[in-house]
Amino acid sequence: MAHIILVTGATGTVGSATVKALSAAGADVRAGVRSLIKGDSLKRLPGVDLVEINFDRPESLAVAFTGVTTAFLVTPFVQNQVELAQKLMDAAQAAGVKHVIRLSASGAEAEPGIQLARWHRQAEDYLKGTGMNYTLLRPGSFMQNFANMYAHTIKESNTFYQPAGEGRVSHVDVRDIGDVAAEILLNPDEHNGKAYTLTGPQALSGNEVAEIFSRVLGRTIQYVDLPEDAARAAMQQQGMPDWMTESLLELNAITRAGFASGVTSDVQEILGRQPYTFEEFVQVYRDCF
Ligand X SMILES: NC(=O)c1ccc[n+]([C@@H]2O[C@H](COP(=O)([O-])OP(=O)(O)OC[C@H]3O[C@@H](n4cnc5c(N)ncnc54)[C@H](OP(=O)(O)O)[C@@H]3O)[C@@H](O)[C@H]2O)c1
Distance CA 37, CA 11 (A): 10
In order, the DSSP letters of 22-79 are HHHTT--EEEEES-TTTTHHHHTSTTEEEEE--TT-HHHHHHHHTT-SEEEE---S-T
When asked if residue 89 is in the footprint of ligand X (CB under 6 A), the reply is no
Question: E strand or H helix at 131, and its extent?
Answer: none
State the CB neighbour count (10 A cutoff) for residue 2: 6
For residues 14 and 185, which CB has a smaller minimum distance to ligand X in the complex?
A: 14
When asked if residue 162 is in the footprint of ligand X (CB under 6 A), the reply is no
* Residue facing ligand X at closest CB distance: 12
Residue 24 Cβ vs ligand X, minimum distance, rounded to whole Å: 18
Residue 89 Cβ vs ligand X, minimum distance, rounded to whole Å: 14
When asked if residue 14 is in the footprint of ligand X (CB under 6 A), the reply is yes
Residue 13 Cβ vs ligand X, minimum distance, rounded to whole Å: 4
Contact code string over 27-66 relative to ligand X, x by CB under 6 A: -------xx--x--------------xxxx----------
**Restricting to residues 236-265, which ones interact with ligand X according to CB under 6 A?**
none
3-class secondary structure, 127 = helix
Distance CA 58, CA 231 (A): 38
Picking from 206, 200, 210, the residue whose alpha carbon sits closest to that of residue 275 is: 200
The correct pick among 5, 6, 61, 103 for binding ligand X (CB under 6 A) is 103
Distance CA 99, CA 132 (A): 6
Residue 37 Cβ vs ligand X, minimum distance, rounded to whole Å: 10
Q: Where are the beta strands (DSSP E) in 109-235?
A: 133-139, 159-162, 194-198, 222-225
Size of the site for ligand X (CB under 6 A): 24
**Restricting to residues 136-155, which ones interact with ligand X according to CB under 6 A?**
139, 141-142, 145
Summarize as ranges the residues that interact with ligand X (CB under 6 A). Answer: 9-15, 34-35, 38, 53-56, 74-77, 103, 105, 139, 141-142, 145
